[in-house]
Each structure stands twice: as C-alpha cells, then as structure tokens.
A and B are shown apart, each in its own frame.
Chain A
Amino acid sequence: MPREGILVHNPYERMTKEQVRQIHHASMQILTDPGLISFNRRAAEIFASNGAEVTPVSSGDHPTWLVKIPEKLVLHALDSAPRIVKLGARNPDNALILNGEEPRVYFVTGSETNIWLDVEFPTYVKKSDPKIEIQVPEFRPRRGTVADLCQSAHVCEHLETLDGYIRTVNIQDKDITEDNKDVNKFFASLNNTTKHVMSGLTSLSQLDNVVNMARIIAGGEEELKQNPIISFITCLVKSPLQFVEDTTDTFIEVCKRGLPVVVSSSPQAGTTAPMKEAGIMAQINAEVLAGITLGQLVNKGTPVLYGSVPVRARMDNLDDSYGAVETSQYNVDCSQMARYYKIPNYSTSGVCDPRTPGTQSSVERLFSDILVTLSGPQYLHCAYGLLECNSVFCLTQAVLDDAHFQMIKFFLRPARIDETEIAESLKQIREVVATPQKLYISYIRRAMRSRQISPPYPFEGDRETDDVFALAYKRMQELLARPVDHIDPATTARIFEEIPGLLRRQVDGLKTEG
C-alpha cells in the first residue's frame, strides 16, 4: 500500500481551458522561435537526429547550437511519458504513486540550503519588572553538515504528513569533496529515513555509485526498477531557454538508467523571464516541455516529472521572492498545465523570504502551502523548514510545517454529506430540540474519538507570551529521541565495501568532523 497523500477533489484552477490552450500554443511557438540555445552537444545531436532544426551558433571552447523543436516531437514525447510515476521507498508502505491525471498531493522537503539554523532559548528579564522572565528563541546560522542532513532525515521520518525526503541541506564538512558528496548525501538520507529520497547530483561521475548503492539497498537491479527508492532533480534548462552543458549530461544519463527524474525549470519573473503572467507561463512551460522531450528521445517511456519552480523577483535586490503572491499564482498555473499534459507535477510552496521563523515566515508559507496544495500538484517540494528563499533550513520550522499540513489535509477531506449523514443529522436535530438543555454535546463524544474532529493546534501555549517555537522545539527533540530504522548492518557493510567515498563516521557516529 503506497502512502495516501491527500486527494484534492476539485483542484483550484486560475486559468480557463482557453487560457491553457493559449499558453500551450505560445510555448509551441517559443520552441521554434526563438527556440533554445544548447550548450550541450549531445542534446543538440539527439534533437537533430530526431527531426528538430539544429544549427551551430558558435564554435571554440564553448560551442553552442540553436535548437528549434517542432510541435509534433513534443506531442510524441508527451504521449510516451508515463502518466503514472512510482517513487519507491525503503519501506514499501512509504512508496508514492504520482498520477498525472489525479490531483493527489504528496508533501516533500527540499532544497539544498547552504545554511542550517540552530535554535537556542536564552532567558530575558523584563526591565520594569525583573520578576518576569521569558524565553526567546534565538537563531544561529551556520554551514550545513552531514550530521545535520542525517538529523533532518531522522526527524522527517517521523513527521506524519511528510511523504518524501529531498535533501534539505548542502553538506559542507571539510572532508566532503566534489567526488564524495553525492554518495554521502544519498547515504545520509537513505540511512535515516525509510521514505522516498530525491536529490540533485553534484557530479555526474558519482551517478553510478549512487545508483549501485540504491540497487544494493533495494535488493537488486530489477527490485530497484520495481521500487525506485531514489530519484533525481535536474535543472537542465536555464532560463531563458538554454540547455546547460553539465546538467543536461546528468539528465541524459539518468534517463538512460530509467530512474525517475524531475525536469525542473526555475525562471524568475522580472529577470530571467517576463514579469507578465502569460510570458513567464509560456516560457517555463516551453522549458519544461523541451526537457521532457529530450528525456523521451533518450529513453522512450522513462519516468519524468514536470518540474516547476517559478518565482517572482524581489524588487529591492532581484533575489527570488517566494513570499510574493505572484509566485503562488505561477505555481498554481503550472500545476494546471502539467495536468493538461497528464504528467505528474513537481511544484513549490512553503518557502518564505525572511531569514528566521516568525510571523512573516508563518504568513507567507501558510499562504502558499494552502493555495498551491489546492491546485493539486502531485509532488509538492520545499514545503518543510525552508527560509530565506531556499537558503536556510530550520528543523524546528519543519516540525511547525507538519502542523500546517495536518490542518490542510484535514480541510481537504471530502465533504461528508450524503443520505445517511443527512438522515442522522435530522434525527439529532429533532431529538436535541425536544430536550430542555438543547445541546448536541452527547453526540460529539464518539466523533472525538474517531479523528473526525480536527485536533487543536499542537503548539498552543498557556501564557501571554508566544511559546509556539519553544513547544515545537520540544516536539522536535521528542522526535529525535525516537529510534531510526537504519539500513540493516549486513547491507550497510556491503555498501561500504562496494561504494567508494563513504565517510566511516556516517555509521560510527557523527560527532567528529574530519
């Protein structure tokens, strides 16, 4: 039995059917005029040999090609791309079934932040009344490590609403290099959660080591195919409309191996895409479709996700603004486009602009979490713990986000209205009205015990101060004290024998840093 996620019965859509067609049509025009610039030779060759118009633009050290992709190639690819993509898991009960035609949402972490936020609670004394003391959360940013990645996977394993794990933090220990980063980040994740693990790849040379590791854990080549416990994200198209040299290679190689892969594009409205909704939508859709088409040309039928990370630029420094209202609009539109093509959608919500948790962060994340969930993307990433536009991860914030998603999931339960419910309700009304107290209280007792009533906010304090963060921190500590279902010792031993580059301290204890 796969995980349930939450099925959105009537997904929220901003665009009319006609507008969807207009965007599709505009994207098709973009793919032939101006087309895409490819910095990647293989992509240019693959497109050329499949009937796209490919012309060299520049030669020398960085040769480039102009690739014009005809609509029929795209439609062909959309036909062969699977509508249902399975993302497996070490514990098969945690598998995710993403169906491009079904708006069932799974909630996932992300992304690769450089900064890990520690929290402390120093005591403050009120000047005018020194008897009064409060604990105020203080946040300390520092560079992320392997130990942090393990810790976050451990907590995420126990967060109820969290369906899959994208590596949250960039591991920057002294003994982590370009050549051992991928194996260590995948191992740290896989060894500390039994949920699905997705990540980007730092170095293509590590792909086979990572795939072999997954094969050992899944129990063999065929087993990995049936239960793909890992998948990849690739940002192969850089906005506007450029196939990147190295990531496109990674994408091609992942497709060849048949593992699930996200074709992600992250245009920023105002800088790398038009600010106009029609413009950024037509462009991102063209970019993602170009990637999907390439994937299907490399390996027909290979599982791909329509990856959309559109954002609006901040006006003060032109950084990404995930808190901007338009960012949610674009994401909702993308999820509608993906559904139009029947390809599962990897979408974005929950990221906020401020550096630390607090009021602004709560407002912004809840706003996008609700709206984007309502649009029914199959795989909603970034949703837990992220701050400052993907640059900071705070584990206690992830615990808070779990509470948000419990509320959202509860809200999205289907309306409980049918003949039986109506009949029972009428009976209750008639009975209660006939009593002297006129209260329905006796009827809620059973409901309370059958999870029919939404639980109270779990971090509500009982004083005049805001204790939410302290309570969430306590909850995080409780989750950390719970056992982790690590990979079994025999398999771990085999992995360490066969996969080069793994740090011993991943299994010997993570206190010391090399």
Chain B
Amino acid sequence: MTEDIIDLIKENVIQGRVTQDDEGLEEGMAGEPGVTELVGEAIEQGIGLSDIIKTGLTEGMETVGQKFEAEEYYIPDMLASAEAVGAAMEILEPHLAENGIEAKGKIIMATVKGDLHDIGKNIVSILLRGAGYAVKDLGNDVDTQTIVDAVIEERPQYLGLSALLTSTMMQMKDVIQALTDSGIRDQVKVIVGGAPVSEEFARSIGADGYGADGFDAVRAVESLASDKAKG
C-alpha cells in the first residue's frame, strides 16, 4: 500500500497533475487523485515524509528532467510537474521539523520597481518550488523598501531579483545597497536574473549568484547552498 501511494505520487508528478481536476498528459486521468490529494492521504496513513519526498517527489522530478533532456517534455510540462512538487512541499512543510527533516530553505522573489515583466520570475519561482524550496513571491514592480522589509520579516536564505528592462536593472543594485544599509546583507544570498542581466553585471553589483534561465536559477541556488554547507 505504501509503495502504491508513493508510486502514484511519482506518476502524478510525471504527469504534472497538481489536483484531481488536472487532465495530465495521458487520457482518462481527470477525476483521479492528483499529487495534492495523494500527499494528503499519505500523511494520513502515516507514511514516512522522507519516502514521500525522496521516492515520490524527487524521483518523479528526476524522470521529468530526463524526459526534458530527451526532448520528450517541453517547458510547460516541466512547469506543471514543478508546480505539483511545489504544492506537495507546501502541504509537507509544517510536518518537516517534527519529523527531523531539514527544509531546503526559503526564497523571496520579486521583480524590481518600475518593471512589470513577471513571466520569467514566475517560471523561476515555480521551478524553485519544484526543487523543494519555500518561495514567497512579492510580485512585480516591487519597491526596494518592500523587499528589504520582507527580508527582515521573513528571514529567507535567498533573495531572487528579476529585471527585464535596462532602465530597471540598476534597481537591483539599489536593493543590494539597501540590504547593506540595513545591516542584513550577510544574512541573505542575492541571486539576480532577467534577459538583460549577465553574469558580469551580477558580479558588478555585488550579487551572489546569477541564473540565465529557470534551470540555471535552480543550479545557482543549489550551488550557493552547497557553498554554505562547505563554508
């Protein structure tokens, strides 16, 4: 039974089905329980959280990654699966600590002041959630003070900033400066991205990381995480 439900979670991650209403890719799945329902049921049955995460969610996501590499899956498929994992993590989160499982970390995401482009930031948020991070999205056109306040209040390990306009890129520098001025710069790793942003630009404004696309964003955060573990 345990295996059954974990297999089902994995299968539904691969199908990208968040809830029972989602169609998934294969015929005839609508109406069947999705990842949200299955994870709820698994918790009720007292199945080990680490099994759900490792064998259900992570292995499912790994298969999705392989399908993506093989060009069998496209970005929308990847996002659907990441969304399913994100939804599952949200349900699991309150139970992690009591089970002695360390959360991967919290990330605040925002598109900076003056910039309304948010498709890329939303994709990055979904993929980060899919990678097991708790993501708080502040939206777009977010002013520097709101971002700083959120960092103070939420104490995330990471802050992701997005900008798509050459005129708003510099806002990222302002945010980093404001974090320094508030004395909290060393408490949060800042990762930046968006079409006009480059690795070089990221370095020049004193950011800790840069991601060229959604997957790169996850890689950037993971590599900062392992730096942290080492350091």
Contacts and interface: CB of A to CB of B under 8 A. Distances in A.
B75 A317 contact: yes
Contacts of A315: 74-76
Contacts of B166: 114, 143, 170, 172
Interface in B142-200: 143, 146, 166-167, 195-196
Interface string B199-231: 000000000000001000000000000000000
Interface residues of A, number: 22
Given A245-B141, A316-B75, A271 B195 contact: no
Query: Which size bracket describes the interface of B in this complex?
Result: 10 to 19
A87 B143 CA distance: 38
A245 B119 CA distance: 18
Nearest to A171: B166
Contacts of B146: 61
A238 B117 CA distance: 9
A127 interface: no
B125 to A, nearest CB: 13
Contacts of B119: 268, 271-272, 318
B141 A238 contact: no
Nearest to B142: A62
Nearest to B168: A178
A62 B110 CA distance: 15
Contacts of B76: 270, 315, 318
Contacts of A316: 74-75
Interface in B109-151: 114, 116, 119, 123, 141, 143, 146
Contacts of B195: 391
B116 A318 contact: no
A287 B74 CA distance: 29
A244 interface: yes
Contacts of A245: 141
Interface in B1-57: none
A245 B76 CA distance: 30
B174 to A, nearest CB: 13
Interface in B73-129: 74-76, 114, 116, 119, 123
A271 B196 CA distance: 21
Contacts of B116: 238, 244
A172 B141 CA distance: 22
A174 to B, nearest CB: 12
A264 to B, nearest CB: 14
Contacts of B75: 315-318
A362 interface: no
Interface string A267-292: 01011100000000000000000000
A246 B114 CA distance: 8
Nearest to A272: B119
Contacts of A238: 116
Interface string A101-144: 00000000000001000000000000000000000000000010
Contacts of A318: 75-76, 119, 123
Nearest to B117: A238
Contacts of B114: 246
A80 interface: no
B81 to A, nearest CB: 15
A211 B87 CA distance: 51
A178 B166 CA distance: 10
Nearest to B75: A318
A202 B167 contact: yes
Nearest to A247: B116
B141 A114 contact: no
A114 B213 contact: no
B178 to A, nearest CB: 16
Nearest to B139: A62
A143 B196 CA distance: 10
Contacts of B213: 317
Contacts of B196: 114
Nearest to B71: A316
Interface string A498-513: 0000000000000000
A391 to B, nearest CB: 7
Contacts of A172: 166
Nearest to A320: B119
A172 B143 CA distance: 23
Interface in A201-250: 202, 238, 244-246
Interface string A298-327: 000000000000000001111000000000
27 contacts: A61-B143, A61-B146, A114-B166, A114-B196, A143-B166, A172-B166, A178-B167, A181-B167, A238-B116, A244-B116, A245-B141, A246-B114, A268-B119, A270-B76, A271-B119, A272-B119, A315-B74, A315-B75, A315-B76, A316-B74, A316-B75, A317-B75, A317-B213, A318-B75, A318-B119, A318-B123, A391-B195
What 8 pairs between A and B have smallest CB-CB spacing? A315-B74, A271-B119, A318-B75, A238-B116, A172-B166, A178-B167, A244-B116, A114-B196
Interface of A: 61-62, 114, 143, 170, 172, 178, 181, 202, 238, 244-246, 268, 270-272, 315-318, 391
Given A172-B166, A316-B74, A317-B213, 9 more contacts: A62-B141, A114-B166, A170-B166, A181-B167, A245-B141, A246-B114, A318-B76, A318-B123, A391-B195
